């Protein structure tokens, strides 16, 4: 597997370029015009509080949500103007592991992992079987081919989802909180896996995570998302020493400032109106 | 104004819904015909699996219900025919109402309860747990992957089940005919065959085919339209059943009228 070839249409040969991306659910805008680049072969970590729009961003990058405006360049194609056929071809070169695993409940773990191969590759069944075993082995699920997803623990589901995302040997992998809810040893194993993929195959990874330790271990660069805007974007070292208040608050785990007293809390509930009248 | 506006809006919504159903069916049919060679074996297996679930596994309950419906039809028609001393027409009444109307309809209603609801629940659950999204990110079209095999299974199985229903219903009628109306087995079946025209059976099967299409479309469409949250799956399932029954009745009305006005006699 080679890194994504450089393309002319994207800045600096980025694997992914996002420009002024705005995404809404109905009336409500979730991402307010964000821009960033992911270079081929690097791991970008997306940090951010709950509800800041990380999953939405990832879903938009793989074409599940339509941007209201802005551009996403991926594999030389703009997601905003891509044809269905091109999108299909593009999607065969990416893998996505969802926050909630999204394993097919009616298929065994082995069938889940082999599905993209069976549908898209000309490989015969015995080769596919070997590849599935390999992928499951990589995520520490060797021997679970014939289990149904419902028979797996939450952490095992996550890992099976990662194995499925990798099954087509994609050039770009998207992970939505791959290690959330896993015990530290397994979580470290997932980090290890991502590092290994990057080293061995030069895979580009975009990882959404809450785990700071993991973020600094696997990430080459990071962006911090706060309520739909990027408040920091830099290399791991830049972020580490950043003096930006939101960044410090996130990294140093400082809770949101508490409201001083009951009165101001009530005022907050009622809104500015009441405060103004007083 | 408010009232006419509401009526107008509802009418537009209904047309839009019918449009969605037609579009889904069309996309599924296209997927069946133009599916890539790759994975064709898998799709064939999925269709076969659906055909088992929709058709074969429904046979016991369909047999039982349509058998009883046949007995009921015989009893009801005998009640009237007795007054005219025309009991020998019981096989005609049973055979005609079954093949033309009740066979397809009862089959459709049972299939809605068993499979239309299951389609909505299955696809709805997949929607809620992001499995549909996962399919899309793997460059697999949910319509081709999920809807097409169901459509194939339904279009084949509905006419088959309907023929079976017709047969079981006639057998039910025969039980009454033999026990209560003085027929022998052979005379009852001969009378039935004499009464039935090819058109009777064919019109029933055409209806069954259309019902199969409607049941698949509504079940899958409701599944795909499932909102967020697992309680929405229950809502989709209920809606799929109610809407399917309604649309099936409408289609039935349409075809019955069509056959009435186009039949030569
Ligand atoms: N399908 C949807 N329809 C409407 N609103 C949505 C939908 N999905 C997410 N949202 C809203 O978008 C916002 C961002 O959600 P998102 O899932 O992207 O957050 P997140 O950063 O991934 O959070 P977490 O870390 O908890 O997973 C939330 O306020 C949420 O309410
Ligand atoms: Mg999320």
The string of DSSP letters for chain B reads -HHHHHHHHHHHHHHHHHHHHHHHHHHHHHHHHH--STTHHHHHHHHHHHHHHHTGGGHHHHHHHHHHHHHHHHHHHHHHHHHTT-GGGHHHHHHHHIIIIIHHHHHHHHHIIIIIHHHHHHHHHHHHTTHHHHHHHTT--HIIIIIHHHHHHHHHHHHHHHHHHHHHHHHHHHHHHHHHS---HHHHHHHHHHH--HHHHHHHHHHHHHHHHHHHHHHHHHHHT--SSTHHHHHHHHHHHHHHHHHHHHHHHHHHHHHHHHS--
A50 lines ligand 1 (CB under 6 A): yes
Is residue A242 domain-resident?
yes
pLDDT of residue A271: 62
For residues B96-111, average pLDDT: 94
pLDDT one-digit tens code per residue, A58-70: 999 999 999 999 9
The pLDDT score that the predictor gives to residue A259 is 57
What confidence score (pLDDT) does residue A258 get?
64
Give the C-alpha separation, B219 to A2, whole Å. 44
A248 domain residue, yes or no: yes
Q: Which pLDDT value is given to residue B11?
A: 85
**Contact criterion met (CB below 8 Å) for A100 and B129:** yes
Which ligand 1 atom sits nearest the alpha carbon of residue A52? 21
pLDDT value at residue A12: 55
Residue A46 lies in a domain: yes
Question: Which chain A residues are within 8 Å of B134, Cβ to Cβ?
Answer: 96, 98, 102-104, 164
Report whether pLDDT(A250) > 80.
Answer: yes
Give the pLDDT confidence score for residue A275 in this predicted structure: 45
The size of the A-B interface in CB pairs under 8 A is 60
Give the model's pLDDT for residue A182. 78
Query: Is there a domain that residue A89 lies in?
Result: no
Q: So what's the pLDDT on residue A1?
A: 37
| Nearest CB neighbour to B129, from listed A87, A100, A115 | A100
Give the mean pLDDT of A249-264.
Answer: 74
Residue range of the domain that includes A137: 40-63+96-277
Q: Is residue A70 part of a domain?
A: no
Residue A256 lies in a domain: yes
| Number of alpha carbons in the 13 Å side-chain half-sphere of residue B109 | 11
Cα gap A274→A264, rounded to integer Å:
11
Please provide residue A109's backbone torsions phi and psi, each rounded to the nearest 5 degrees. Answer: -60, -45
Say how far residue A55 (Cα) sits from the centre of its chain. 7
User: Who has greater pLDDT, B116 or A2?
Assistant: B116
Partner-chain residue, chosen from A91, A102, A115, that has the shortest CB–CB distance to B130: A102
The Cα–Cα gap between B121 and B241 comes to 11
Mean pLDDT computed over B21-40 = 85
pLDDT value at position A55?
93
Neighbours of B46 (CB within 10 A): 18
| pLDDT range class, residue A244, cuts 50, 70, 90 | confident
- How high is the pLDDT of residue A199? 86
Nearest one of A191, A166, A217 to A1, comparing CA atoms: A166
Confidence category of residue A5, pLDDT binned at 50, 70, 90: very low
User: Which of A59, A100, A116 is facing B138, going by the closest CB pair?
Assistant: A116
Whether residue B133 and residue A116 make contact (CB cut-off 8 A), yes or no, is no
Which residues in B have their CB inside 8 Å of a CB on A?
38-39, 42, 122, 125-126, 129-131, 133-134, 136-140
Q: Which of A36-45, A148-157, A216-225, A268-277 has the lowest mean pLDDT?
A: A268-277
Segment B51-65 mean pLDDT: 94
The stretch B119-139 carries a mean pLDDT of: 95
**Who wins on pLDDT, B93 or A259?**
B93
B251 pLDDT band, cuts 50/70/90, is: very high
Q: Which of A40-44, A246-250, B57-61, B206-210 is predicted with the least confidence, judged by mean pLDDT? A: A246-250
Would you state the pLDDT for residue B182?
A: 84
The closest of A15, A201, A170, A198 to A97, measured between CA atoms, is A170
Q: How much is the pLDDT for A219?
A: 92
In a domain, A1, yes or no: no
pLDDT, residue B256, reads 93
Q: State the sign of the Cα–Cα–Cα–Cα dihedral B233, B14, B141, A58.
A: negative
Summarize pLDDT for B88-102 with one digit per residue, the tens. Answer: 888 999 999 999 999
- Position B208 scores a pLDDT of 96
What mean pLDDT do residues B213-229 have? 94
Q: How many domains does chain A have?
A: 1
Q: For A202-220, what is each residue's pLDDT tens digit?
A: 889 999 988 888 899 999 9
Whether the per-residue pLDDT at A191 is higher than 70: the answer is: yes
Q: Find the helix or strand (DSSP H, E) in which A201 lies.
A: helix A184-201
- Whether A54 lines ligand 1, by a CB cut-off of 6 Å, is yes
Q: How far apart are CA B26 and CA B19, in angstroms?
A: 10
Query: For ligand 1, what atom is nearest to the CA of residue A225?
Result: 21
- pTM for the model: 0.87
Owner of token pair 């992001």: B130
Check pLDDT > 50 for residue A9: no
Instruction: Say how far apart CA A60 and CA B101 lie, in whole Å.
Output: 50
Using DSSP, state whether A113 is helix, strand or coil. helix
Rounded Cα distance, A257 and A252, in Å:
14
What's residue B119's pLDDT?
A: 96
Structure confidence by residue, pLDDT tens digits, A109-148: 999 999 999 988 888 889 999 999 999 998 888 899 999 9
Chain B residues closer than 8 Å to A92 by CB? 139
Residue of A176, A247, A230, A221 whose CA lies nearest to A22: A230
pLDDT for A272: 54
Q: What integer is the mean pLDDT of A188-214?
A: 87
Residue spans per domain, chain B: 44-262
Mutate to test the interface with A, among B35, B53, B135, B138 (most CBs of A within 10 A): B138
Quote the minimal CA–CA distance from B102 to chain A in Å.
35
Confidence of residue A246 (pLDDT cuts 50, 70, 90): confident
d(CA B67, CA B77): 16
- Is residue A184 situated within a structural domain? yes
How does the average pLDDT of chain A come out, rounded? 85
What pLDDT was estimated at residue A261? 66
Average pLDDT for chain B: 91
Asked if residue A163 lies in contact with residue A113, where contact means CB atoms within 8 angstroms, the answer is yes
Query: Which residues, 6 or more positions from A169, have their beta carbon under 8 angstroms from its beta carbon?
Result: A1, A201
CATH number at residue A273: 3.40.50.300
What is the spatial distance between Cα A5 and Cα B175, in angstroms, rounded to a whole number?
Answer: 76
Q: Choose between B43 and A36: higher pLDDT.
A: A36
Which residues of chain B neighbour A94 with C-beta distances below 8 Å?
137
Percent of chain B with pLDDT over 90: 69
Residue A64: closest C-alpha in chain B: B133
Q: Is the pLDDT of residue A222 over 50?
A: yes
Give the pLDDT of residue A240.
Answer: 86
pLDDT at position A7, please?
A: 40
Nearest CA to ligand 1 atom 28: A51
């Amino acid at each position: 597997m080679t890194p994504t070839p450089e393309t002319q249409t994207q800045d600096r040969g980025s694997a992914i370029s996002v420009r002024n991306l705005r995404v809404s659910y109905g009336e409500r805008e979730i991402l307010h015009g964000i821009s960033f680049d992911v270079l081929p072969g690097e791991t970008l970590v997306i940090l951010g509080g709950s509800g800041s729009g990380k999953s939405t961003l990832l879903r938009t990058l793989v074409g599940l949500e339509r941007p209201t405006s802005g551009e996403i360049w991926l594999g030389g194609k703009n997601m905003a103007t891509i044809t269905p056929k091109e999108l299909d071809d593009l999607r065969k070169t990416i893998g996505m592991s969802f926050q909630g695993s999204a394993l097919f409940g009616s298929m065994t773990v082995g069938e889940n992992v082999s599905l993209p191969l069976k549908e898209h590759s000309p490989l015969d069944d015995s080769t596919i079987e070997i590849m599935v075993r390999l992928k499951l082995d990589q995520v520490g699920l060797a021997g679970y081919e014939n289990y149904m997803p419902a028979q797996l623990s939450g952490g095992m589901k996550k890992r099976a989802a990662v194995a499925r995302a990798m099954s087509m040997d994609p050039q770009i992998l998207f992970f939505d909180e791959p290690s959330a809810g896993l015990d530290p040893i397994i979580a470290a194993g997932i980090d290890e896996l991502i590092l290994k993929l990057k080293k061995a195959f030069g895979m580009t990874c975009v990882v959404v995570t809450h785990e700071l330790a993991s973020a600094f271990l696997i990430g080459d660069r990071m962006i911090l998302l706060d309520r739909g805007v990027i408040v920091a974007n830099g290399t791991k070292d830049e972020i580490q020493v950043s003096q930006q208040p939101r960044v410090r608050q996130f990294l140093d785990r400082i809770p949101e400032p508490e409201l001083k007293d009951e009165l101001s809390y009530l005022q907050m509930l009622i809104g500015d109106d009441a405060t103004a009248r007083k | 104004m408010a009232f006419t506006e509401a009526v107008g809006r509802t009418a537009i919504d209904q047309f839009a819904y019918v449009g969605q159903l037609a579009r889904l069916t069309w996309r599924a049919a296209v997927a069946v015909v133009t599916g890539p060679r790759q994975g064709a074996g898998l799709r064939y297996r999925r269709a076969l699996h659906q055909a088992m679930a929709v058709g074969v596994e429904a046979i016991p309950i369909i047999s039982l219900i349509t058998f009883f419906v046949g007995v009921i039809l015989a009893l009801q028609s005998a009640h009237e025919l007795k007054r005219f001393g025309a009991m020998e027409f019981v096989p005609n009444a049973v055979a005609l109402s079954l093949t033309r109307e009740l066979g397809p309809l009862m089959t459709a209603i049972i299939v809605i309860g068993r499979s239309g609801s299951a389609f909505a629940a299955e696809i709805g659950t997949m929607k809620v747990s992001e499995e549909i999204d996962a399919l899309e990110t793997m460059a697999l079209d949910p319509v081709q992957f999920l809807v097409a095999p169901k459509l194939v299974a339904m279009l084949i199985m509905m006419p088959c089940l309907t023929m079976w229903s017709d047969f079981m219903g006639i057998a039910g009628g025969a039980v009454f005919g033999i026990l209560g109306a003085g027929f022998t087995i052979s005379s009852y079946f001969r009378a039935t065959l004499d009464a039935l025209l090819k058109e009777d059976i064919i019109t029933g099967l055409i209806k069954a085919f259309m019902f199969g299409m409607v049941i698949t479309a509504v079940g899958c469409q409701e599944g795909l339209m499932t909102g967020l949250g697992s309680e929405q799956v229950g809502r989709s399932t209920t809606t799929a059943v109610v809407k399917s029954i309604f649309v099936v009745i409408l289609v039935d009305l349409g075809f019955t009228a069509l056959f009435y006005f186009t039949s030569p006699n």
